[in-house]
Amino acid sequence: MWQPEPEQSRPGGSGDDGRLPPAGPPARPPARRRSGLKAAVFSVLLAAGLAGLAVAAVGIAHQLLPRRFSAAQRTAISAWELQSRWRALAAGTIFPGSVSYQLPASALNGTSGLELRADRLGISPMAACSAAVSGTTSRILREYHCSAAMRATYVDSSGGMVATVVVAVLPSAAAARTVVEALTGTGTSHQAMVRALAIPGTPSAAFADADRQLSDAADAGPYVIMSTAGFSDGRRRVHISADHYLDSELTSLTGGLIHSAGQALGRPPPVPACPGAPGC
């Protein structure tokens, strides 16, 4: 008996109606491609993180590194330190127990000088400027706003000469320089500047203003430092200009005392630097 032959499928067909089968899910990209994409994304994120960390590190370093002061700031800080030094230092530092000074060779008619020493006899309490100086010096210091003064008296190694040294506090180095120029002109002044400070029970017990032989002055920062010298044995004022040796010895004594106090008060402070803490 005849049987019909099975119907052959059409190309692309899957059923009797010839329709295409429903589409399946899209094919996944190859595994290697997916791994490369993840690595690229990770690299970008890592780079961004490192960049942020670098910016943060720079900011932290900027806060921790010492601040760089401008020239004007350094000048102001140094001036403030000098101005407050007389309060910060002990009286024994400003007026040490002994002071070395040099007698010039010319006074000895020799080729070398002679090193001498003066010993401190006493230090007075802090006082008003007018109480430490006399005459025109008091007026000049008042004109340039001297705020305080301190004195000390020394005796030379022979015991025959005594000297009083005074430190006057001015508001600025410029004011101190102007005062010294007004007091001394171009050189040592023989006018009586400093009031003699007698220390009871010492070789200076009889040292009075009438015994002052000469005075000298110099500036050190905002300070005017003056000294006057005379005899401890009651000898009155003499014309020392006629005695070269005596003039040199007294001038060396006063100059040595002024230099010593000036070294303590007027030495340049260290260059201002921030200690490195944030917000310093």
Question: CA distances (Å), 4 to each of 13, 140, 199, in order?
Answer: 20, 143, 152
Higher local confidence (pLDDT), 128 or 243: 128
Radius of gyration of the chain (CA): 44
Residue 244 in any domain: the answer is yes
Residues 119, 196: one domain? yes
How does pLDDT run across 8-33, given as a tens digit for each residue?
A: 445 444 445 555 555 555 555 555 55
Residues 142, 49: one domain? no
How does pLDDT run across 232-255, given as a tens digit for each residue?
A: 876 766 666 667 778 889 999 999
Residues 49, 185: one domain? no
Residue 136 in any domain: the answer is yes
Residues 101, 45: one domain? no
Please tell me the predicted confidence (pLDDT) of residue 179.
95
Domain boundary among 68, 83, 109: 68
Residues 138, 56: one domain? no
Contact between 116 and 102 (Cβ < 8 Å):
yes
Domain count, the chain: 2
Say if residue 149's pLDDT is above 90.
Answer: yes
Q: Which domain holds residue 50?
A: 39-68
Domain boundary among 27, 52, 68: 68
How does pLDDT run across 151-198, given as a tens digit for each residue?
A: 999 999 989 999 999 999 999 999 999 999 999 875 545 567 899 999
Taking the C-alpha atoms of residue 76 and residue 66, their distance in angstroms, rounded to an integer, is 18
Residues 135, 59: one domain? no
Residues 43, 143: one domain? no
pLDDT grade for 272, boundaries at 50, 70 and 90: low
Say if residue 277's pLDDT is above 50.
Answer: no
Residues 163, 223: one domain? yes
Residues 83, 45: one domain? no
Q: For all residues of the chain together, what is the average pLDDT? A: 80
